[in-house]
Amino acid sequence: MSAPGAAGRFGLAGRLRIAVRAIAVLGWFVACLILYALATPLPGRNPVSRLFLGGVLRIAGGRLTITGARPTEPAILLANHLSWMDILTLSQATGTAFVAHDGLAGNLLLRFLCRLNRTVFIARHDRGSIGGQIGQVQQGLRKAGVLTLFPEGTTNDGVTLLPFKSSLLAAVDGSQEGVTVLPVWIDYGAQAAQIAWSDGEPGLANVLRILAQSKPVPVTVHLLPNLSAAALQDRKTIAAAAREAIAKAADQRVAL
């Protein structure tokens, strides 16, 4: 898949859409910062981060549909991963926070936004820190109520569901009793390959490409049934069961 590397590679209409949407996101960001500060002293979780991400989804052209029962807290969601838009859709659909690799924390703006949404940063490639990761996830789950992890470990091409890395599920395997674990299929339909952030495409290029689109982006979040107790025996059974459930749901839609 080839992608433009800068806004100048788009036609006039595409550049106008990028500009209008970028200004709208900036204005919405400022407004939500004010709302976030006003809501901070109030009891309970601050709802403004979810409001902000949902607004960005709408500005970017996303049109969300949700199927299945919403998770009962505390819950861990295991989802396929195509794009940065997955963050917007899942947050809007469930109010979830996210488990992310600590490399994102190196970007000041991303770290700030992630912290507002109660993101849990873990060192995925440091096997010696698994005990600490479990504690981080448990603490994050208590604060957020719902946490999402992307077991593929990266974004896919919108066509192929990558293997689920069981090493990423050590924290899920060690989660406390009473936590439900459910697979989630994020479905962009016929536009999946166009939305997907893959093939070494720079992040900014992917953002601009999506913002330049004239068509809306329909996305369905399928909240699949909770994994059974048998599937939760260890991280390998969790990975296999979650991937099988998502693959089966995707195959059923294609077959229709």
Give me the pLDDT at residue 256, please.
Answer: 38
- H helices of the chain, in order, are 12-39, 48-59, 85-94, 108-116, 130-144, 170-173, 192-195, 203-211, 235-255
pLDDT for 252 beyond 80: no
One DSSP character per residue, 3-18 reads: --SSGGGS-HHHHHHH
Whether residue 188 lies inside any domain: the answer is yes
Provide, rounded to the nearest whole percent, the portion of the chain with pLDDT above 90: 49
- At residue 80 the predicted structure's pLDDT band, cuts being 50, 70 and 90, is very high
Pairwise CA distance, residues 229 & 10, whole Å = 51
pLDDT of residue 224 exceeding 50: yes
User: Which tens digits make up the pLDDT trace of 22-51?
Assistant: 999 999 999 999 999 999 898 888 889 999
What CATH number did the domain enclosing 32 receive?
3.40.1130
Establish if 2 belongs to a structural domain. Answer: no
Q: How far apart are CA 167 and CA 74, in angstroms?
A: 22
pLDDT of 4 over the 50 cut: no
What span, in angstroms and rounded, lies between the C-alpha atoms of 250 and 256? 10
Q: Is the pLDDT of residue 68 over 80?
A: yes
- 177: in domain: yes
With respect to residue 76, please indicate whether it lies within any of the assigned structural domains: yes
Q: What is the pLDDT of residues 104-135, one digit of tens each?
A: 656 667 777 777 777 777 765 555 555 666 77
Residue 1 lies in a domain: no
- Establish if 147 belongs to a structural domain: yes
User: In whole angstroms, what is the distance from residue 102 CA to residue 95 CA?
Assistant: 21
Domain count, the chain: 1
Q: Which domain holds residue 51?
A: 7-255
Kindly state whether residue 78 falls inside one of the protein's structural domains.
yes
Give the residue-averaged pLDDT of 44-65.
92
pLDDT tens digits, 174-189 = 666 788 999 999 999 9
